Chain A
Amino acid sequence: MPTIEIDGKIITVESGLNVIQAADRLGIHIPRFCYHPGLSAAGSCRMCMVEIEKIPKLQTACTTPVHDGMVVRTDTEAVQDARRSILEYLLINHPIDCPICDKSGECLLQDYYTDYARYTSRFLETRWRKRKVFILGPTIVMDEERCVLCSRCVRFFEEVSGVRRLGIFQRGAEAYLSTYPGEVLQDRYCGNIVDICPVGALTDRDFRFNQRVWMLKQGHSVCPYCARGCNIIVDFNEKSDIQVNDRRVYRFRPRPNPMVNRYWMCDVGRYGYKHLDAAERIREPLLREGKRLTPVGWDRVIKRAALRIRETLASTGPKGVGVLVHPTVSCETTLAVRELFVEQLKIRNVSTGFPVDPAGFEDEVLIRRDSAPNRRGLEMIGLVPKGEEVPAEKLAADWAEGRIQLLYVLGDDPVRFQHPEAPSPIRAGEGILILQKTTAGPEDEHARMVLPAAMPAEEDGTFVNFEGRVQHFDAALAPLGEALPACEILQRLGEALKVEIHPECWRLGQETWAPSSSS
């Protein structure tokens, strides 16, 4: 394990690391354009040059392996001078159109310019004019004038997504980034190239011109759109003019986690942020009055739900009530369901959702066939002892055919969530259907009441991903409208049912995780 010194700070790291990685661990930021921790080192932008004792020339930190006793300086006049010159080379042909550039505020070129650049240009020549607003594909637009040819995007497709969709053509100053002529840039992971583009060359057509990034607040969460559970950043504006008196979410971005998603996420998850503020979001509790679902307050809908549950239990006993939990709900919600419905109300017609869609897409990168984020969590908790669970299809059939008089459905159907056009497996029934979910769907027309639940980004919770990795997340932002975190809805329902459930037992501990022993 080599020990090295950077700017007077000592660190011991595993061998094979490059100087820039060691510096990152020390919190010393060495400026870079082409280097990205998730990609091979190209060593081409020459921005990360540092002084290394006993080596006469400056070295690129991203390609120089550490060795024991190495002494690195990143703050000398020679290093500053090198940075200044690289910035000058990059800026002579740059349009410097920060005021109209979407990347403004999160652009490395802009940041480094303010830190290191020469402010008076020596460039007396005609600036190189290249393609602006060049549509690469349905989600990505390119500004060739802003491109610094760092090749991060090229390497991303080659090394991460697996298909080499971009190339750098021609040579010298005429080199330019493009797809193969005539080819439209489409890839399930396209959005990542916008995240890693260190300048404003690649922008996202969805986000473009929607918001200046410094207006946005960041929250952390876990992506709910498949069993991978990519860690994400939720970018939102607390005071949106578009949506009066409410926050608005503008994008999801990947949050690095080497064990789960490294630095990436797929476009399904990325654009999944739209669900948060979608017109289909249920913003108020709804109660069927006559033929229509009518907005009512929480008190009324909870009282009504409790009343119906009590009535049904009284007339049919637990066997007349079914509970269907989609594996889109958190572990905490699952524990609350177990506590309330299974252990207290003794309901055994319990299902943990429909099986994985065998036609779903899966790849070697991130995307899992199982589009539910917490199936593993539900399995581990176990609503009922193993083997006693009711298959969701049977529960749905029992409901539709009248063998169950009341069905309580928690969470959104993971398949339908991504494919709104898919038919709902919950058909009409004679009895009472209570839905607790985030987003409107065709089964709502059969429901007596719809309880608006928070999306995962709006609540605290825990998901267990397909590998068994337990990922806790805190609420990134407040729920939309009157929606409430699922656990809170269940707690209110418990109170109305006069059943005492203990919110603290939703906290995850070994004991709580143990499957229910009551029978």
Chain B
Amino acid sequence: MQQILPKKEVKKLLGRYPNKDAALMPLLRAIQMKEGYISKEAEQYAAAILELHPSRVREVVAFYSMFREKPEGKHLILVCESISCALLGSETILEHLKKRLGIGIGETTADQHFTLETAECLACCDQAPAVMINDELFGPVTPEELDRILEEKQKAVDSGQ
């Protein structure tokens, strides 16, 4: 089986817990950080390391919404849909992004640059409506501001290639 993570890193994660299987979530998080998503092979890799049946791993991957089961674009855009952002227009923001990117929720642009997702409350209600792009928070945002942000991100991706 392919070793996705260095043995040293795995050992470090395991060391935090008295029980092996407790390291499942940090292990999956580390795999996703490295590979962008959790593949079926990765599930089986985690199961083998922790001596779990793969269905145990799969349950966890499927339960937690942040574990992604397919590759995402270079930029993951999360639009907060919860109440405080909804009160201040998150639906407009979401519609604008759908139109601009030409994709629906959960989809990735053809050039693999952007994936659009909705999120539950990001605890940024004071910056509503809020949007998170990769690890960065933006808010309050307007459609115009988002256009500007996305153009910058697009440029960064283009120049990076």
Contact, chains A and B (beta carbon distance below 8 A): yes
**Chain A 475-487, CB within 8 Å of chain B: the 1/0 string?**
0000000000000
- B55, A166: Cβ atoms under 8 Å? yes
User: In this assembly, does A181 line the interface, its C-beta being within 8 Å of a C-beta of chain B?
Assistant: yes
User: In this assembly, does A171 line the interface, its C-beta being within 8 Å of a C-beta of chain B?
Assistant: yes
- A181, B58: Cβ atoms under 8 Å? yes
- A163, B59: Cβ atoms under 8 Å? no
- The CA-CA distance from A114 to B58 in the complex, in Å, is 38
- A180, B62: Cβ atoms under 8 Å? no
Q: Most A CB atoms within 10 A — which of B40, B55, B58?
A: B55
Q: How far is the CB of A50 from chain B (nearest CB, A)?
A: 31
- A180, B63: Cβ atoms under 8 Å? no
- The CA-CA distance from A266 to B28 in the complex, in Å, is 36
- A169, B62: Cβ atoms under 8 Å? yes
- B53, A163: Cβ atoms under 8 Å? yes
User: In this assembly, does A44 line the interface, its C-beta being within 8 Å of a C-beta of chain B?
Assistant: no
| A residues 138-183 touching B (CB-CB < 8 Å) | 163-171, 179-183
- B53, A171: Cβ atoms under 8 Å? no
Q: How far is the CB of A334 from chain B (nearest CB, A)?
A: 44
- The CA-CA distance from A168 to B55 in the complex, in Å, is 9
List the B side residues contacting A182 at CB < 8 Å: 40
- B59, A168: Cβ atoms under 8 Å? yes
- A167, B56: Cβ atoms under 8 Å? yes
Q: Is the interface of B mostly helix, strand, loop or mixed?
A: helix
Known contacts A164-B52, A169-B59, A182-B40; 15 further A-B pairs (Cβ under 8 A)? A164-B53, A164-B56, A165-B53, A165-B55, A166-B55, A167-B55, A167-B56, A167-B58, A168-B59, A169-B62, A169-B63, A170-B63, A180-B54, A181-B58, A183-B55
CB closest residue in chain B, given A166: B55
List the A side residues contacting B53 at CB < 8 Å: 163-165, 180
CB closest residue in chain A, given B63: A171
- The CA-CA distance from A166 to B55 in the complex, in Å, is 7
List the A side residues contacting B40 at CB < 8 Å: 181-182
- A170, B55: Cβ atoms under 8 Å? no
CB closest residue in chain A, given B59: A167
- 6 A-B residue pairs with Cβ-Cβ distance under 8 Å, sorted by A, are A166-B55, A167-B58, A167-B59, A180-B53, A180-B55, A180-B58
| Leading 8 A-B pairs by shortest Cβ distance | A167-B55, A164-B53, A180-B55, A169-B62, A167-B59, A180-B54, A170-B62, A171-B63
Q: Most B CB atoms within 10 A — which of A163, A167, A170, A183?
A: A167
Q: How far is the CB of B43 from chain A (nearest CB, A)?
A: 8
List the B side residues contacting A179 at CB < 8 Å: 55
| B residues 55-73 touching A (CB-CB < 8 Å) | 55-56, 58-59, 62-63
- The CA-CA distance from A164 to B54 in the complex, in Å, is 9
- The CA-CA distance from A170 to B59 in the complex, in Å, is 7
- The CA-CA distance from A294 to B30 in the complex, in Å, is 74
Q: How far is the CB of A390 from chain B (nearest CB, A)?
A: 49
- The CA-CA distance from A183 to B53 in the complex, in Å, is 11
List the B side residues contacting A163 at CB < 8 Å: 53
- The CA-CA distance from A170 to B60 in the complex, in Å, is 8
CB closest residue in chain A, given B44: A180
CB closest residue in chain B, given A163: B53
- The CA-CA distance from A299 to B40 in the complex, in Å, is 68
- The CA-CA distance from A183 to B58 in the complex, in Å, is 12
Q: How far is the CB of B104 from chain A (nearest CB, A)?
A: 18
Q: How far is the CB of B106 from chain A (nearest CB, A)?
A: 14
List the B side residues contacting A164 at CB < 8 Å: 52-53, 55-56
Q: How far is the CB of A163 from chain B (nearest CB, A)?
A: 6
Q: How far is the CB of A321 from chain B (nearest CB, A)?
A: 56
**Chain A 10-51, CB within 8 Å of chain B: the 1/0 string?**
000000000000000000000000000000000000000000
List the B side residues contacting A181 at CB < 8 Å: 40, 58
Q: How far is the CB of A134 from chain B (nearest CB, A)?
A: 16
| B residues 14-55 touching A (CB-CB < 8 Å) | 40, 52-55
- The CA-CA distance from A180 to B55 in the complex, in Å, is 5
CB closest residue in chain B, given A178: B55
List the B side residues contacting A170 at CB < 8 Å: 62-63
Q: How far is the CB of A338 from chain B (nearest CB, A)?
A: 51
List the A side residues contacting B56 at CB < 8 Å: 164, 167
- The CA-CA distance from A182 to B55 in the complex, in Å, is 11
- The CA-CA distance from A270 to B16 in the complex, in Å, is 46
List the B side residues contacting A165 at CB < 8 Å: 53, 55
List the A side residues contacting B55 at CB < 8 Å: 164-167, 179-180, 183
Q: Most B CB atoms within 10 A — which of A164, A166, A179?
A: A164
- The CA-CA distance from A163 to B52 in the complex, in Å, is 10
List the A side residues contacting B62 at CB < 8 Å: 169-171
CB closest residue in chain A, given B47: A180
List the B side residues contacting A167 at CB < 8 Å: 55-56, 58-59
- The CA-CA distance from A180 to B62 in the complex, in Å, is 11
CB closest residue in chain B, given A154: B55
Q: How far is the CB of A271 from chain B (nearest CB, A)?
A: 25
Q: How far is the CB of B116 from chain A (nearest CB, A)?
A: 20
Q: How far is the CB of B140 from chain A (nearest CB, A)?
A: 30
CB closest residue in chain A, given B65: A171
- The CA-CA distance from A187 to B45 in the complex, in Å, is 23
CB closest residue in chain B, given A167: B55
Q: How far is the CB of B82 from chain A (nearest CB, A)?
A: 16
CB closest residue in chain B, given A176: B62
**Chain A 179-191, CB within 8 Å of chain B: the 1/0 string?**
1111100000000
Q: How far is the CB of A158 from chain B (nearest CB, A)?
A: 9
CB closest residue in chain B, given A168: B59
- The CA-CA distance from A159 to B88 in the complex, in Å, is 50
Q: Most B CB atoms within 10 A — which of A163, A171, A180, A183?
A: A180
- The CA-CA distance from A165 to B53 in the complex, in Å, is 8
- The CA-CA distance from A165 to B59 in the complex, in Å, is 12
- The CA-CA distance from A260 to B53 in the complex, in Å, is 29
List the A side residues contacting B58 at CB < 8 Å: 167, 169, 180-181
Q: How far is the CB of B5 from chain A (nearest CB, A)?
A: 21
Q: How far is the CB of B117 from chain A (nearest CB, A)?
A: 16
